[in-house]
Amino acid sequence: METHAALLFGVFFLLVALSVPIGVSLGAAALVYLFVNQEAIISLAQRAVIGTNSFLLVAVPFFVLAGNLMNTGGITRRLFRFASALVGRLPGGLGHANVVANVIMAGMSGSAVADAAGLGTVQIPAMKEAGYDEDFSTGLTVAAATIGPIIPPSINMVVYAFLAEVSIGRMFLGGFVPGVFMAVSLMAIVYMYAVRRRYPKGPRMGIREIATASLEAVPALLTPVLLLGGMFIGVFTPTEAAVVASVYALLLGWLWYRSIDLRGFYAACVGSLRITATTMFIMAMASVFAWALAREQIPQAAAGFVFSITENKVLVLLMVNIVLLIAGCVLDAVSALIILMPILLPIQKQLGVDPIHYGVMVVFNITLGNITPPVGMCLYVGSAVAQISLDRVVRATLPFLVPLLIVLAIITYVPQTVLLLPNAVMGVGR
């Protein structure tokens, strides 16, 4: 058994080290495992289908499409302008507007990469033109994009809810307060840099300009209200909410803002199909890999190993966080969730930690992988948008990682920061 488990992990990490795509590495490792165990090769396809056969996962492509339509329809520009009207007069005003715009966009797309790409093309040039350092502008944009998967709706939370069999609604509500904490902590860093480097305040807007920016943003601002309100009063399910988000984004861009034509709609659909195909292929292969782990009883062995070291809840949660942070450096979010959750869920149950609190903590950890090398996709997006080297983006992002790690510590050891809203809105433990 131990030999087979070692082979499974050995093949996977060897292929990853050779820069083979994650999905292919997972599938190849699982295929070798099946061959060595004299299992039918057709089991790979069967387990892949079983692992992704869920109505809940239909939400993933539609949330991706909603984010792409928001970007294609020019909604990100209007949101940034509205955010500038709100906080632009603070020291480092465009930096604060950057964070606020990401908070608003988070309620629409649920994807850090989509937010970094869509808002980054607007925010980074605007900040550079206003006199902000190029590295600072890029680092902040990349770091602020991590708010996207925490404030609902969130693709990563949908995947976690599917794996852990918990309420998506409670998961979504659990992300609100941590998302606000992230924004406040990043804005505090922006203020410190603005004072030290004498970054300018945003241009003063007249009442007419503020009113115009607000009115233009109102239809977009109604998106999270529509989605979350519809879910919690029972008009539609979370999966159906993803479809509603896509239709609403299309109608906004096509009929209201008149900024999406057939070519733009086609481009958004093609981009969404590519992201969805990649994501679902990774999920399919990761589900086979996770099945192999379960067959080798790796989750039970891992839980037993952790509790043989210590049964102290504080230390065990610290160890889980460290493992997740390391995993985020080498795996994309979906792969990390599917591979690690069979291992981490037994630890959660043995600790007696609320699964919603645990889930938000896990998703927060995995989300930080978007801004940690070598796999951090937001780093690559920032590098492409700003046209600076990846190592510069990494160095520029590091200062913003510190407050995010502090927020992670808070939500890990103060469960009510996560559970306050779910318990208030949906009842305790429902």
Name which of 39, 37, 14 is nearest 24 in CA terms.
14
The whole-number pLDDT of residue 45 equals: 82
> In this structure, are residues 34 and 210 in contact, taking their beta carbons and an 8 Å threshold?
no
Query: pLDDT-based confidence at 378, cuts 50/70/90?
Result: confident
CB atoms within 10 A of CB 250: 20
More confident residue, 235 or 399: 399
In the chain, pLDDT over 90 holds for what percent of residues?
26
The whole-number pLDDT of residue 81 equals: 83
Query: pLDDT-based confidence at 181, cuts 50/70/90?
Result: very high
Is residue 261 classed as helix, strand or coil in its secondary structure? coil
The whole-number pLDDT of residue 119 equals: 80
Q: Which two tokens stand for residue 391?
A: 């190592």
Query: What tens digit of pLDDT does each residue of 310-366 get?
Result: 889 999 999 999 988 888 887 778 878 888 888 888 889 989 999 999 999 999 999
Query: Rounded mean pLDDT of the chain?
Result: 85
Task: Return d(Cα 198, Cα 39) in angstroms, integer.
Answer: 65
Stretch (H or E) spanning 94: helix 93-106
144-148, 274-278, 407-411, 415-419: which range is least confident on average? 274-278
The whole-number pLDDT of residue 244 equals: 87
Long-range pairs for 408-417 at CB < 8 Å and ≥24 separation? 408/321, 408/361, 408/364, 408/365, 408/368, 410/181, 411/178, 411/181, 411/357, 411/360, 411/361, 411/364, 412/317, 412/318, 412/321, 412/361, 413/314, 413/317, 415/353, 415/354, 415/357, 417/177, 417/178, 417/181
Long-range pairs for 177-181 at CB < 8 Å and ≥24 separation? 177/417, 177/418, 177/420, 177/421, 178/150, 178/360, 178/364, 178/407, 178/411, 178/417, 178/418, 179/103, 179/106, 179/147, 179/150, 179/151, 180/103, 180/151, 181/407, 181/410, 181/411, 181/417
The whole-number pLDDT of residue 429 equals: 58
The whole-number pLDDT of residue 430 equals: 52
Averaged over 16-22, what is the pLDDT?
A: 82
User: If you search the block for the tokens 């309420």, which residue do you land on?
Assistant: 167
> In this structure, are residues 101 and 87 in contact, taking their beta carbons and an 8 Å threshold?
no
> In this structure, are residues 375 and 325 in contact, taking their beta carbons and an 8 Å threshold?
no
Q: Which two tokens stand for residue 356?
A: 């919603």
* Start-to-end CA span in the chain (Å): 39
On the CB side of 213, how many CA atoms lie within 13 Å of its CA? 20
Query: What tens digit of pLDDT does each residue of 67-79 get?
Result: 778 777 677 778 8
The whole-number pLDDT of residue 2 equals: 66
Query: What tens digit of pLDDT does each residue of 90-113 get?
Result: 889 999 999 998 898 887 766 787
User: If you search the block for the tokens 């949660």, which residue do you land on?
Assistant: 317
The whole-number pLDDT of residue 309 equals: 87
Phi/psi of residue 167, each to 5°?
Answer: -70, 125
Residue 390, C-beta contacts closer than 8 angstroms, at least 6 positions apart = 373, 379, 380, 383
Task: Return d(Cα 218, Cα 348) in angstroms, integer.
Answer: 41
Averaged over 208-234, what is the pLDDT?
A: 80
| pLDDT value at 411 more than 80 | yes
| pLDDT value at 376 more than 90 | no
The whole-number pLDDT of residue 1 equals: 52
pTM (2 d.p.): 0.83
